[in-house]
Amino acid sequence: YSWYCVIRTLTGFTACHWNTACVYATEWGGRKNRSFTLIAHIVYMSVAFALFGTIAYYIRPWRQLIVALSIFGAVVFILMLPSLKDSPRWLFCNGKKKQAVANVQFAAKVNGLPVIQLKDIDEDIAVSESNASGRESVLLLLQRPRLVFITVTFYLTSAANVLIYYMLKFSAEKLSSSPYLSCWLLSLSDLPSALLIHFCSDLRRRPVNFWVQLVAVAFCFLCCIPQVRLASAVVCMAFAAVSFNYVYLYLAEVYPTTMRNRVTAGCIAVAEIGGMVSNPLVLTMDIWEVLPFLIAASVAVGPAIAPW
């Protein structure tokens, strides 16, 4: 058991990799394709969750389940590793113009597009972007109270949505008579969230995030009613996923490249606090079966109202 805890702790250090992948994808996709890359990220994550429920149904022993999932993830990562290149946007901002152009040439070659040449790059833009260091970006954040408030709101919104999302995920066995069916339905809730983000991508960010968060809170309260608990949980998770991922879309537009990774890292760290609290919160069902839903919904009200 001790070694299991140690290994799981080490595995936890890689848990933020999927958020890093989101930042990486948005930097490659550019401004016009940010919403598309985010939607693709959500769809793949939803499919992975659904596959997890399916695999867990056929592989019941937990040791074999962990081995099967680990092998699957390792094989996919190894196959994709040769095609993973540093983001040209990040390379330009750090003064590595030649490597950035080489990576763009590699992407153009893979996609059958005209290969860009080094002379086609506007050197003035490259130099001006490379002059901004990460340290100056952090100081810039601290010097602007409005930006600090927006950042804190992002962090709290992420934590509240992760709290709701994983609280419902961990309580799957108590949402219906079949825990596997509950897990599978909850996993598929991310798919409609991707469609909602697509339709909302051209709307104003603040009102959309407010109403989406408010709908998630409302359906979290509805989970207190046993007759509609599973259906309410599915809808609640879908809107919580929209709000959570909408933060990253919003974040990519507010902060420059030199600052985006650091702000995202802080957002991930705070969101993980919500994830850590969600599991003990499910245990409060032994005290009162609706207590975790009431607590999670109440916590999420604040971040929803804060931007207004």
pLDDT tens, residue by residue, 92-112 = 777 787 888 888 888 787 777
96: left (phi over 0), alpha (psi -120 to 50) or beta: beta
% of residues, the chain, pLDDT over 70? 80
**Is the distance from CB of 304 to CB of 214 less than 8 angstroms?**
yes
Q: Do the Cβ atoms of 131 and 124 come closer than 8 Å?
A: no
pLDDT at residue 248 in the model? 74
Using alpha carbons only, what angle is made at residue 35 by residues 30 and 37, rounded to the nearest 5 degrees?
70
Q: What is the average per-residue pLDDT within 145-154? A: 79
Query: In whole numbers, what is the pLDDT of the chain averaged over residues?
Result: 76
60 vs 193, which has greater pLDDT?
60
Which is more confidently placed, 180 or 14?
180
Instruction: Read off the pLDDT band of 118 (50, 70, 90).
Output: low
pLDDT at 165: 86
Q: Whats the size of the chain, residue-wise?
A: 308
Largest CA distance in the chain: 68
| Banded model confidence at residue 134, pLDDT cuts 50, 70, 90 | very low
Q: Which residues contact 137 (CB under 8 A, 6 or more apart)?
A: 255, 256, 258, 259, 262
Mean pLDDT of 70-87: 80
Under a CB-based contact definition with an 8 Å cutoff, are residues 240 and 274 in contact? Answer: no
- 7-16, 96-105, 118-127, 148-157, range with the lowest pLDDT: 118-127
Using CA atoms, how far residue 102 sits from 53, 111, 118, 233, in Å, is 41, 14, 9, 47
30-55: per-residue pLDDT in tens? 666 766 776 777 777 777 777 777 78
For residue 269, the one-letter residue type is A
Q: Rounded distance, CA 179 to CA 171, Å? A: 9
Whether the pLDDT of residue 72 is over 70: the answer is yes
| Per-residue pLDDT, 45 | 73
Query: How large is the average pLDDT for residues 188-207?
Result: 72
Q: What is the dihedral of CA 195, 198, 202, 204, to 10 degrees?
A: 60
Q: Alpha-carbon distance 222 to 71, whole Å?
A: 39
- Ranked by mean pLDDT, the top range of 62-71, 85-94, 194-203 is 62-71
Number of CB atoms found within 10 A of residue 12's CB: 11
The pair phi, psi for residue 96, each rounded to 5°, is -105, 70
Please indicate, yes or no, whether the overall pTM of this predicted structure exceeds 0.75: no
The pLDDT assigned to 70 comes to 81
